[in-house]
């Protein structure tokens, strides 16, 4: 991935005037411009956790796989709302669906969630040793 020289980018956009006081601070600083695919991965986190129903579903599925009827009963929400959110979570790859006779049993895709958080930590340059 191509790294950008920060001083050169500032100079290109604003000229030298902006650099008068900060050029020393930014000397030899090279950075990577955020890529669209990395930003999309981060936005997936928002899609998952910005909805209270989805968070509640994930909390239940983190404990054990459950059928829709159990999720509806426990959360006391409309079955259509629960099904809609389960479908969204399934499309995001956050949950798995398994058919047992006439029921669909949902479980958390812990590996996908772990991967999502690892990608975000990597994107933000957060590591355990920092």
Judge whether residue 75 has pLDDT over 70: yes
pLDDT at 129: 59
Distance separating alpha carbons of residues 83 and 93, to the nearest angstrom: 15
pLDDT, tens digit (0-9, with 9 covering 90-100), for 33-73: 888 988 888 888 888 888 999 999 999 999 999 999 999 99
What is the pLDDT at residue 25? 87
pLDDT for the residue 2: 85
Q: What is the mean pLDDT of residues 89-98?
A: 95
Q: Tell me what the pLDDT averaged over the chain comes to.
A: 91
Fold observed for domain 37-115: Arc Repressor Mutant, subunit A (1.10.10)
Residue 126 confidence (pLDDT) above 90: no
In the predicted structure, residue 128 carries a pLDDT above the cut 70: no
Instruction: List, in order, residues 6 or more apart from 78 with CB less than 8 Å away.
Output: 72
Cβ proximity of 91 and 54 under 8 Å = no
| Higher per-residue confidence, 88 vs 43 | 88
What's the whole-model pTM score? 0.75
pLDDT at 40: 87
Q: Map out the domains of the chain as residue ranges.
A: 3-33, 37-115
User: Could you tell me if 39 and 85 are in contact, meaning their C-beta atoms sit under 8 angstroms apart?
Assistant: no
Top pLDDT among 73 and 119 is at 73
């Amino acid at each position: 991935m191509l790294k950008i020289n920060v001083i050169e980018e500032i100079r290109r956009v604003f000229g030298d005037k902006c650099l008068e006081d900060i050029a020393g601070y930014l000397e030899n600083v090279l950075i990577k411009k955020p890529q669209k695919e990395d930003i999309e991965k981060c936005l997936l986190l928002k899609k998952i956790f910005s909805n209270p129903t989805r968070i509640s579903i994930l909390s239940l599925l983190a404990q054990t796989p459950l059928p829709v009827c159990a999720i509806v009963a426990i959360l006391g929400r409309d079955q259509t709302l629960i099904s809609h959110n389960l479908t969204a979570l399934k499309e995001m790859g956050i949950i798995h669906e398994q058919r047992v006779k006439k029921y669909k049993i949902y479980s958390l895709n812990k590996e996908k969630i772990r991967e999502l958080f690892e990608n975000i930590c990597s994107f933000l340059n957060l590591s355990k040793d920092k």
